[in-house]
Amino acid sequence: MSSHLLLVACPDAPGLIHGITGIVYRHQGNIVSNSEFVDQETAQFFMRTEYKGPSDPVAVSREVKALLPKTAHVRCADMEPRRIVVLATKEHHCLGDLLLRHAHGEINANILAVISNHETLGDLVRQFGLPFHFVDHAHKNRPDHENAILGLLEPYRPEYLVLAKYMRILTPGFITRFPYRIINIHHSFLPAFIGASPYRQAFERGVKLVGATAHFVTDDLDTGPIIAQDVIPVRHTHGAKDMAQAGRDVEKVVLAKALGLVLEERVFLCGNRTIIFD
């Protein structure tokens, strides 16, 4: 008896749960966990159904689609490891943490390769036995650089891209090829700081908490739907360098958490917000 996931998002209407679970039932699926939420702002219905059974997910999915309006999003997913490519620049902390977790079976994904615009992290990636692709951005305009990356990505057919401190801004043209399938991590502070040297700004402001936000990448830079956030305390004894270390520590934790939620298909989009069935 294998496990299946049925994921539904559509406008709310009476009887949806009854109707959808009826299809699962008729396919002899036994529901292990069912989470449902109706957003009161948009009257959108979201449901994540984890069930066990002999059923054919394609057939289940087709019947559910037939039941719902055309605008509904319906997906019947297995729980196989997802195909992932990681993009990074020079910082090791998020990438290293993902590589360790991947090597020891802590994330439900296959990291297929790491692509970087610097050579700095090549040794780290190769020591874990994974392909490392260096795509220099020097002497290339942005579209050319992104095209070179897209060319490398193509054979891997990644389901998700993880930006593990990839410090180049992606163009809308690139992003639209992976709609809500690019996950980014960046620092965040209370209050927020915009522009260069955020840790410097945070230090000068004397913040007592350093935070990190993991989110989907959309055209609006750093403002896509938030998946996970956390903070760690800092003190006046922390210089700007210590605050950067604190930032690294919280960033790797938040990225790993967000990625886990995405890989288990626990994250739904609701406008610019996320519904998270954890």
- Regarding 38 and contact with a second copy (CB under 8 A), the answer is yes
Active-site residue flag, 56: no
The residues in 11-30 that bind a second copy, with binding defined as CB under 8 A, are: 12, 14-18, 21-22, 24-25, 28-30
H helix runs in the chain, sequence order: 16-26, 57-67, 93-103, 122-127, 142-153, 172-175, 198-205, 240-263
Looking at 97, 146, 251, 265, which residue binds a second copy (CB under 8 A)?
Answer: 97
The residues in 42-71 that bind a second copy, with binding defined as CB under 8 A, are: none
Looking at 158, 198, 211, 247, which residue binds a second copy (CB under 8 A)?
Answer: 211
**44-53 and 73-77 as β-strands: parallel, antiparallel, unpaired?**
unpaired
**Listed residue (193, 263, 190) closest to 222, CA to CA:** 193
The residues in 220-239 that bind a second copy, with binding defined as CB under 8 A, are: 222-223, 225-231, 233, 235-237, 239
- Regarding 205 and contact with a second copy (CB under 8 A), the answer is yes
Q: Which is nearer to a second copy, 153 or 246 (CB)?
A: 246
Rg of the chain, C-alpha, whole Å: 21
**273-276 and 267-270 as β-strands: parallel, antiparallel, unpaired?**
antiparallel
Cα 244 to chain centroid distance, Å, stands at 23
CA–CA gap between residue 27 and residue 5 (Å, rounded): 14
The residues in 74-93 that bind a second copy, with binding defined as CB under 8 A, are: 92-93
On whether the CB atoms of residues 110 and 81 are closer than 8 A, the answer is: yes
Q: How far is the CB of 151 from a second copy (least distance, A)?
A: 29
Q: Which is nearer to a second copy, 149 or 217 (CB)?
A: 217
On whether the CB atoms of residues 226 and 215 are closer than 8 A, the answer is: yes
Q: How far is the CB of 41 from a second copy (least distance, A)?
A: 8
Residues in the chain: 278
Q: How far is the CB of 50 from a second copy (least distance, A)?
A: 9
CA–CA gap between residue 135 and residue 173 (Å, rounded): 18
Q: Which is nearer to a second copy, 100 or 112 (CB)?
A: 100
Active-site option among 56, 136, 220, 222: 222
Looking at 67, 72, 100, 148, which residue binds a second copy (CB under 8 A)?
Answer: 100
Q: Which is nearer to a second copy, 36 or 159 (CB)?
A: 36
* Side chain identity, residue 34: N
CA distances from 29 to 26, 73, 213, 220, 270 (A): 7, 20, 37, 40, 27
The residues in 169-198 that bind a second copy, with binding defined as CB under 8 A, are: 188-192
Tell me, by CB under 8 A, how many residues bind a second copy.
75
- Regarding 199 and contact with a second copy (CB under 8 A), the answer is no
Looking at 2, 3, 171, 272, which residue binds a second copy (CB under 8 A)?
Answer: 272
Cite the active site residues: 222
